[in-house]
Amino acid sequence: MKNQEPPLDIKEAFHKFSQGGVQMSNDQLLGFILEHQGDKNCTLMDLEVLLLQIAGNSNTATREQGLSQMYFINFLLLDDFNGPLKNEVHHDMSAPLSHYFMYTGHNSYLTGNQLTSDCSDEPIIEALQQGVRVIELDLWPSTNEDGIKVVHGRTLTTPVLLTKCLESIKKYAFVKSDFPVILTLEDHLTPKLQAKFSEKATQIFGDMLYYPQTDYLTEFPSPESLKNLVVISTKPPKEYAHSDSVMDKGSNNNHVLNGSEPLSGEEEEEELWNEGLADSMAKLTTEENNGSDEDINICDLKPNQQNAPEYKHLIAIHGGKSKGSVKDRLKADSEVVKRLSLSEKKLKSASETHGRDIIRFTQRNILRVYPKGERIKSTNFRPHLGWMYGAQMVAFNMQGHGKSLWLMQGMFRANGGCGYVKKPEFLIQTNSNEDEFDPRRILQVKRTLRVKVYLGVGWRSDFGPTHFDRFSPPDFYTKVCIVGVPADCVKKRTRVIKDNWLPVWDEEFEFPLTVPDLALLRIEVKDWDQGKDDFAGQTCLPVSELRLGFRSVALHDRKGKKFKSVKLLMRFQLETFD
């Protein structure tokens, strides 16, 4: 910033708090932080540490005399201290699990597409390191030493050992967050193998494994009470005759692929095979013509004998039935709580006629929403489709990088990045029909968010000199968007700053918000070109969590990894209406 003229707002703030001087003393800087930034917990001792970062250990003059205007801007760009979000958990974590959005993965073991990619524990490790709290495993019989493999059934994906997945989950479950990891199991196992899973899970997880005190919960436990525990969620097995035969009399050849055992299906109903997969794959099975995985349950074929009790007693969050109409499935049981899974397509359809039923269901129960079957390339849908109706587990392909995943990553930057975000009260409280929340209804504006984009730095450090243009510096502009309920969604952008690695835009945008609690601020920088504009960084921030004042906003790459140096200096202001 040495050769750039600082934005007027920055100069005025410096002039005000330095009382017209050319240096801002530590006391004056503390006054700026407390009064202008609203950071009430900062102390002079904190500032000593920060000034070391700005000036370096050898520059005692800066620490003793204070900050010049240039160093003041460098101070504002310290994103670790002056970032847009709080770094610590600050939501009430003592409510039932149904009161929280949860960072949720779909087919967590897949490295790529849904049909031919490898299965591995590596995507699971990466997800846990990013703070994902809900991991999905598909369990199938195998001839390997485990007897159980994790694989996307009836596809050409290559399996991974169950033991390897469980050991990696144990190792990485709580490196990012100490709040519970939930394993959603799509179970295609015989009773003997279910018992083997129980044995392996208890052996590997030990004291980390949560055992519910009763067979059926009347209310879910809280994230706080489940800290550092692994929780199992699947459909409870029914009582049926024990058989390890792949082809018993009552079984159906159409439910077997390449010699694998019949489905016992968790609850996935994942219309994966009747929702647009390639014809070549559809020929491998006629399962889609006979219902969902959950409907074709080996447990239904041979009743009257007790299943392995160990497996049943591991299940804390019970998957609900898949049969019947969506409206019937959404009827909340007053006695027990459960989890229900719907595809994005079914949820979209149901929300048009049963939106209030969905919200009522999610007040006590858990709803999981997963990608439709057409998403062969592991793409994702807009997560607000589920969040608007209180769905706690919006399950995403974490390898499906793009704008939808950026929104998911943005939501779970909230609450210190712990993987659990308290739902807004209007999605939790039971109200009369007239007062019930309806995301399709246009409400009065509750808050106005003002976003000012001052300048950007760091591209010269993080990108090669010819990355954007071969013969000239880049031409940057910034897109600023609100994503939330339909009435709040809007896109805006700055002007293009030509031929400059250190762009100064100094432009402000105003966003009236009817449901600010569900609004995300999406920010993306691009390099303007005659053809397709080049990507230069992005981030997504929950509006309800924004720290006001001047903030350093670090940008991320397409996969969501934070750049080392690229960041924007921005200002956030919120006006609230009664």
User: Alpha-carbon distance 98 to 135, whole Å?
Assistant: 17
Active-site pick, 15, 36, 99, 106: 106
Residues contacting 519, CB < 8 A, separation 6+: 449, 482, 483, 484, 485, 488, 511, 513, 542, 543, 544
What 8-state DSSP symbol labels residue 249?
Answer: T
Give the pair of three-digit tokens for residue 308: 């392995």
Residues contacting 192, CB < 8 A, separation 6+: 242, 244, 308
Cβ-count burial 212-229 (b if 16+ within 10 Å, e if not): beeeebeebbbbeebeeb
Strand partners, 492: 480
Q: Cα-flanking dihedrals φ and ψ of residue 505, to 5°?
A: -95, -50
Angle at 153 between CA 151 and CA 156, to 5 degrees: 80
Asked about 401 being catalytic, the answer comes back as no
Contact, 556 vs 563, CB < 8 A?
yes
Give the pair of three-digit tokens for residue 328: 């019937």
User: Alpha-carbon distance 280 to 262, whole Å?
Assistant: 21
What 8-state DSSP symbol labels residue 189?
Answer: -
Using CA of residue 464, residue 465, residue 471, residue 473, what is the dihedral sign? positive
Tokens 């996307």 map to which residue? 152
Asked about 255 being catalytic, the answer comes back as no
Residues contacting 321, CB < 8 A, separation 6+: 267, 294, 329
Active-site pick, 152, 188, 255, 556: 152
Label each residue of 354-421 as H, E or C. Answer: HHHHHHHHHHHCEEEEECCCCCCCCCCCCCHHHHCCCCCEEEECCCCCCHHHHHHHHHCCCHHHCCEE
Residues contacting 554, CB < 8 A, separation 6+: 79, 83, 539, 562, 563, 566, 567
Task: Give the other-Cβ count within 10 Å of 259's Cβ.
Answer: 9
Using CA of residue 83, residue 561, residue 71, residue 502, what is the dihedral sign? negative
Give the pair of three-digit tokens for residue 146: 């485990």
Task: Give the other-Cβ count within 10 Å of 340's Cβ.
Answer: 23
User: Alpha-carbon distance 528 to 90, whole Å?
Assistant: 40
With residue 181 as reference, give the H or E element that holds it: strand 181-187
Catalytic residues: 106, 152
